[in-house]
A and B are shown apart, each in its own frame.
Chain A
């Protein structure tokens, strides 16, 4: 059966929009999963600690990561304890007292943790918190 030439041929956009939406969602989900995966820092359980809600994470808080190997970092930038001390000093001058949260792997030696704590005390920060897992939900 021959098709008649349509007077107002319209492109059906529905499948294209479908596919574009699916692609956008796929990339958003897979990208965030890639970022969240960090095998070098596994935390110990701390069921009786204070639950880390957004209110318990003030913007002045400084988080220091310590990987299994003892690598000290802040925001994925490797740092020496001296550099951490410098940051603490600058931050204390700006904000006064502020909380320090150490996110250390459960297998790491205390040596690296002690270095970070010493960098804090040398610059007048005595209160240190350690991050732990309140409730495990993620599958390993």
Chain B
């Protein structure tokens, strides 16, 4: 059957709608939400000054990180206990210098956790040493 020339040719929207629906479904299925990142600042004094850091100083808050976890005030702590201790300290001495000493075999996770806790209680003067 021959087509008659149309007087009012109208654009057929059906394929466009089909494709738009396909695209919507495709994006809904494949879209991957990305993590939001943060940065935790620290100072890294020269290796020679690590000896000075081990000297007793009352204004310093010392945190030791080993392969087993965090040691604070000579006591091994989990994150909850550490968080509580830091909260207490931050009440009295927010501006004191925090010294984190990590052993070479400690996992990086503990250092990030310690820095994060310091940031939580607005203790921003943090130095990281390696022992």
Contacts and interface: CB of A to CB of B under 8 A. Distances in A.
Contacts of A131: 37-39
Contacts of A33: 30, 32
Interface in B109-131: 109, 111-113, 115-117, 119-120, 128, 130
B113 A126 contact: no
Contact of A130 (B2, B35, B39): B39
B30 A134 contact: no
A66 B2 CA distance: 70
Q: How large is the interface on A (under 10, 10 to 19, 20 to 34, 35 or more residues)?
A: 35 or more
A108 B112 CA distance: 12
Interface string B29-55: 010111111111111111100000000
Contact of A129 (B27, B35, B39, B65): B39
B108 A113 contact: yes
B107 A49 contact: no
Contacts, number: 166
Instruction: Report which residue of A104, A105, A109 has the largest number of chain B beta carbons within 10 angstroms of its beta carbon.
Output: A109
B89 interface: no
Contact of B37 (A43, A126, A127): A43
A69 interface: no
Q: Is the interface of A mostly helix, strand, loop or mixed?
A: mixed
B19 A109 contact: no
A21 B19 contact: yes
15 contacts: A25-B23, A43-B35, A44-B108, A44-B113, A47-B116, A52-B39, A109-B105, A111-B104, A111-B130, A126-B43, A130-B111, A132-B39, A134-B37, A135-B36, A138-B35
Interface of A: 1, 3-4, 14-15, 18, 21-22, 25-26, 29-30, 33, 36, 43-52, 56, 66, 101, 104-111, 113-114, 117-118, 120-121, 126-139
